[in-house]
Amino acid sequence: MLRIKSKYKIAKRLGAGVFEQTQTQKFALSEARSKKERRGGRGGSDFGRQLLEKQRVRYTYGLSERQLSNYAQEATHEKDPSTQLHRALEMRADSVLYRAGFAPSRRAARQAVSHGHVKVNGTRITSPSHRLKKGDKLEIRESVRTSPLYAGLAEKEDKKVPPQWLSVDPNLLSVEVSGEPQYSQIEAGLDYPTVFEFYSR
């Protein structure tokens, strides 16, 4: 599991979107002031731009360097590498659990899967990187549904809105992969082509 020392320091360098904890108005104002102070400096190199984007993807999904490198290498063999990489990352078990609203962050989702709280197609899994496909069903195991982690999720007023490719049943704490995520740089907030540039050096 990726260990993170200072999320706020990293988010100032890579952007607030990489961590749920830094997606606040207070952090945004602080970052705006910092950018204003830094304005006027020299532009970064191509390598620096590529490295920053690669790191943004890594921290957004909580991946090790080797994991992201493997995902990127696999995606380069496909017709649309960016969409393939996006799908591989979004359809991980921890990402699906987070997107469904059953975990407050991807880090919490990784822990939930690692601790055996999740079943896929009726089988318990413990690997956060377990890749789902269209038609798969992920659910919280009945034995842990009453724990404080999941109790009351169905009644929460500020529930996360799941993406269209997921069909969520908040009462049964289950989610079915009813489609496939499509990559949009604007929606994802991540520039995958720049990541491929980094790995193609």
Residue 188 lies in a domain: no
Domain residue limits at 168: 92-177
Residue 161 lies in a domain: yes
Residue 11 lies in a domain: no
pLDDT tens digits, one per residue of 43-92: 478 999 999 999 999 999 999 999 999 999 999 999 999 999 999 999 99
CA distances to 20, 29, 99, 100, 155 from 104, rounded to whole Å, are 8, 23, 9, 10, 15
What is the domain-level CATH number for residue 162? 3.10.290.10
Residue 143 lies in a domain: yes
Contacts of 159 (CB under 8 A, 6+ apart): 101, 153, 170
Residue 15 lies in a domain: no
Q: What pTM does this model have?
A: 0.79
Residue 199 lies in a domain: no
Total domains present in the chain: 1
* Count of C-beta atoms within a 10 Å radius of residue 152: 7
pLDDT tens digits, one per residue of 97-150: 999 999 999 999 999 999 999 999 999 999 999 999 999 999 999 999 999 999
